[in-house]
Structure 1
Amino acid sequence: MARQIFINLPVRDLPKAMAFYTAIGAVNNPQFTDETAACMVFSDTIFVMLLTHDKWRVFTQKPITDTHASGALMLALSCDDRAAVDTMAEAAGRHGGKADVNPKQDLGFMYSRSFEDPDGHVWEPLFMDTAQLPPQS
């Protein structure tokens, strides 16, 4: 069985966060969604759990970081091609996030952009063409 990743993110406004993640390509799994949490599925191995602040506090007593003010993490998500990277970043900007919070990267073999979701979590959609990787020295 392939390993799966479940990313848990605290969100201020669950319906707004769900709409944002739907707009950038995730699909809601209602089996794991209620008024306190939503499971957003990017693939059969990548899941984002959006948790209200109250729900988040059930799992940890650590304070919730203001990710608009400080960096906590950056989540890279592979895309099928460069156009898909652009589509995701631009959709983020149109649906309540901020596109290109970091400079675009174009290394030839790898292309990426970044965006913030409405809660300030930074994502980096990227496309890597392994056939274009520079040779190892």
Structure 2
Amino acid sequence: MPTMIFVNLPVRELAASIRFYEALGGSRNPQCSDDTAACIVLSDAIHVMLLTHDKFMQFSPRPVADARATARVLLCVSAESREAVDGQVRKAMEAGGTPDPTPTQDYGFMYGRSYEDPDGHIWEVMWMDPAAAASGTAAA
């Protein structure tokens, strides 16, 4: 079985967060969802667990940080093209997210933008030219 990643995010309003992530193309796994949590499948390998603050605290000995005031993690997913990067950020904005909370990165061989979800969690979306990556010229 391939490695799977479960990103656990504390959210203030579960229903609003579900709508946001579904608008980005994620699908809810009802087997792992209830009125305190929702599993949003982004790909075969990546799942986002949206957890109410009370539910999140069942798994963490630390208080929930305000993602709008502090940074604990930056999440990054790849896209198949520059256009797909822009499309994902546009979808996030149309769903109520904040576009480009971090600077756009454009290095020619690599292009990235970002968005914030309704709780302030920052997601980066990145494309890298596969030929540059394969040849090693991407690091130059």
Please indicate the TM-score interval, normalised by the length of the shorter structure: over 0.9
Unmatched 5+ stretches in structure 1: none
* Rounded Cα–Cα distance in structure 1 between residues aligned with 2:86 and 2:121: 18
CA contact 1:40–1:47 (8 Å) conserved in 2: yes
| Shift, 1:54, TM fit | 0.8
CA contact 2:6–2:48 (8 Å) conserved in 1: yes
Aligned to 1:15: 15
Is 1:95 aligned with 2:132?
no
* Rounded Cα–Cα distance in structure 1 between residues aligned with 2:70 and 2:77: 21
CA contact 1:113–1:125 (8 Å) conserved in 2: yes
SS at match of 1:80: coil
| Shift, 1:132, TM fit | 2.4
Q: CA, structure 1 residues 136+52, in 2 after alignment: closer, same or farther (shift >3 Å)?
A: closer
* Rounded Cα–Cα distance in structure 2 between residues aligned with 1:67 and 1:87: 24
Is 1:84 aligned with 2:89?
no
**Superposed CA offset, 1:27-79 (max 9, x none):** 11111111000000111100000000110111113111111011111100011
**Superposed CA offset, 1:66-114 (max 9, x none):** 1101111110001111111111111111212100111111111111101
Aligned to 2:110: 110
Q: CA, structure 1 residues 91+135, in 2 after alignment: closer, same or farther (shift >3 Å)?
A: closer
TM-score normalised to the size of structure 2? 0.92
TM-score normalised to the size of structure 1? 0.94
* Rounded Cα–Cα distance in structure 1 between residues aligned with 2:14 and 2:4: 23
CA contact 2:109–2:138 (8 Å) conserved in 1: no
* Rounded Cα–Cα distance in structure 1 between residues aligned with 2:15 and 2:138: 46
- Tell me the matched-pair count: 137
* Amino-acid identity (%): 49
Aligned to 2:119: 119
CA contact 1:25–1:88 (8 Å) conserved in 2: no
Aligned to 1:44: 44
* Rounded Cα–Cα distance in structure 2 between residues aligned with 1:106 and 1:69: 26
4+ runs of 1 displaced by more than 2 Å?
none
* Rounded Cα–Cα distance in structure 2 between residues aligned with 1:35 and 1:83: 36
